[in-house]
Amino acid sequence: MPPIFQTSTYAQEAPNVNKGYDYARVGNPTRTALENLIAGLEGADECACFASGCAAMDAVLKMFRPGDQIIASNDLYGGTYRLFTKVFEPFGINFTFVDMTDIQEVKEAATDDAKLLWIETPTNPMLRVVDIELLTDFASSNDVLSLVDNTFASPYLQQPLELGADMVLHSTTKYLGGHSDIIGGAVATSNSDIMEQLRFQVKTSGAVPGPMDCYLTLRGIKTLSVRVQQSVDNAKKVAEFLDDHSAVERVIYPGLESHDQHDIAKKQMSDFGGMVSFSLKDDSMEKAQEFMSRTKIFTLAESLGGVESLISHPASMTHGSIPKEVRLKAGLKDSLIRLSVGIEDADDLIEDLDQAFE
């Protein structure tokens, strides 16, 4: 394991002559090890790590200027929507939200000021799968940058840069860290101009992860493949159980043939992920909350991608910052429940859900 360089500054040989590092906000050897590892996982030349996924998003958005248009999915993480509309929109950056599974909607939304396609796939929490290659082809042919938030899939299941994306973003809190014990973010790219701007943000805004967080993320990534594969195997069984349950109206899982973008997921992902969403036939917030309060193995909590299984209610938790009319338009119902399926025994997880229904 790389050492934890728990230092804020570094001895220099002479004024402005350092041995590779001068001040820990700008760089830290433990952080460099993590950045190199994530860059390698994503097939990128470089990576910049941040104190959180939101800090990583913030650094990307600071590359743009008033009047620029950013086109994003209408079904995306509530924190992303909040950052877009409450922080950067008042500064004059224009955000357009569309259904990115329909390329025609994206083309019609793009103006002469379009500068970035912000792609989530699978989306949070509706698990829509967006055709990365199709969208990035459109972006590059129109001199528009493209970013893919790869948090839900992880590099184990999907490599957006190989499909044409300019940059890939992660909340390393989730599958990369994998143990619900750190907060972090990362942006990987092979575009030197983008990386230069991100490094400037790292130095100037200073939203950097501490060395201990970097160390824990490095440790977590060592088991990425076995953790994600077990979560995927469990998620398939959980999705099939829910799909057959009389109290469930709809199960959303890219691995089910009933999923609208099942074929796209098959094409661009090596497997279908560990996230499952479902809605109840009794579509009420009260019924969903009653159900979630009964689970014993699935812990009621925000976040995802850890070794333990989590259950959450997007409408009131992770997506509570999205206005109800916007949420419903994107298909996010009051009774929608999101599962982050962990690595416990699949039979135990199914039994837990079964008793909660009963």
Supply the residues annotated as catalytic: 25, 77, 149, 174
Q: What is the dihedral of CA 112, 114, 115, 118, to 10 degrees?
A: -170
Strand partners, 46: 189
Phi, psi of 94 (to 5 degrees): -100, 125
CA distances from 104 to 108, 115, 118, 257, 269 (A): 6, 18, 16, 24, 23
Q: Amino acid identity, residue 45?
A: D
Would you state the structure tokens that stand for residue 255, as one six-digit string?
Answer: 């691995």
To the nearest 10 degrees (0 to 180), the angle between helices 346-357 and 285-292 is 130
Q: Which of 128, 111, 108, 110 is nearest to 119 (CA)?
A: 128
| 195 neighbors 49 (Cβ within 8 angstroms) | no
| 116 neighbors 146 (Cβ within 8 angstroms) | yes
